[in-house]
A and B are shown apart, each in its own frame.
Chain A
Amino acid sequence: SQQGEEDPQALSIQEGENATMNCSYKTSINNLQWYRQNSGRGLVHLILIRSNEREKHSGRLRVTLDTSKKSSSLLITASRAADTASYFCATVNSMDTGRRALTFGSGTRLQVQP
């Protein structure tokens, strides 16, 4: 079962514009993470936000978390062609203390046009 659902499924923007991706999830969580996947490659961790945090920044990335709405957003500012990739949110269920399993959404495909 998929915990996180990203929206939109695909996004095409021009270089320099901002890109916003949203994620909704279903259960109580310990943390929410965002990953990036370039075509044909493995996933790379971008940022982790804990359930008691509301906003986090890392370089050009800004992540927000609203646990009351069970949603998160990832903002990439001043996008570059190199940001073209798929972006996934992933959550750790707060009841799943043993497995520490990340449950992934189906991802947002971001295309940044030069």
Chain B
Amino acid sequence: NAGVTQTPKFQVLKTGQSMTLQCAQDMNHEYMSWYRQDPGMGLRLIHYSVGAGITDQGEVPNGYNVSRSTTEDFPLRLLSAAPSQTSVYFCASSAFGTGELFFGEGSRLTVL
């Protein structure tokens, strides 16, 4: 059972480039979310989804886009990368009513 799988694990971008971080889960979880982790700031919610076709903004959504065409996949798109988006990104999912989040291993992004 793979759980939550994120790709790529590492990525270096130049300012202005765009890219997509992939996230897939095989647990049939309705809820999926993206967090970013920065030193000294804990994790902050970027976007979330409560089911296929439904997405909404979290605490820090600017500069990011998401879609949820299937239950399994929840990609995060950086539209025009900025140095302030250098961070470690985590995808997480949960089943309704449980509260427990299952996290991927993270994607470390550096924007030059």
Residues on A lying within 8 angstroms of B by beta carbon are 1-2, 4, 30-31, 33, 35, 40-45, 48, 88, 90, 92, 98-107
Contacts and interface: CB of A to CB of B under 8 A. Distances in A.
A44 B104 CA distance: 9
B59 A45 contact: no
Contact of B45 (A33, A41, A44, A101): A101
Given A1-B59, A88-B43, A107-B42, A102 B50 contact: no
Given A41-B105, A92-B99, A2 B41 contact: yes
11 contacts: A2-B41, A30-B99, A42-B90, A43-B92, A45-B100, A98-B56, A99-B58, A100-B48, A101-B45, A102-B101, A104-B35
B25 interface: no
Contacts, number: 63
A106 B41 CA distance: 5
Interface of B: 4, 31, 33, 35, 40-45, 48, 50, 56, 58-59, 90, 92, 94, 99-106
Nearest to B31: A100
Given A43-B101, A48-B100, A106-B41, A101 B33 contact: yes
B43 A104 contact: yes
Contacts of B44: 104
A99 B105 contact: no
* Residue picked from A33, A48, A101, most chain B C-beta under 10 Å: A101
B90 A43 contact: yes
A41 B106 contact: yes
Contact of A43 (B48, B58, B103): B103
Contacts of B33: 101
Given A98-B50, A104-B42, A104-B43, A44 B56 contact: no
B106 A42 contact: yes
* Residue picked from A2, A48, A100, most chain B C-beta under 10 Å: A100
Given A31-B99, A41-B106, A42-B106, A101 B42 contact: no
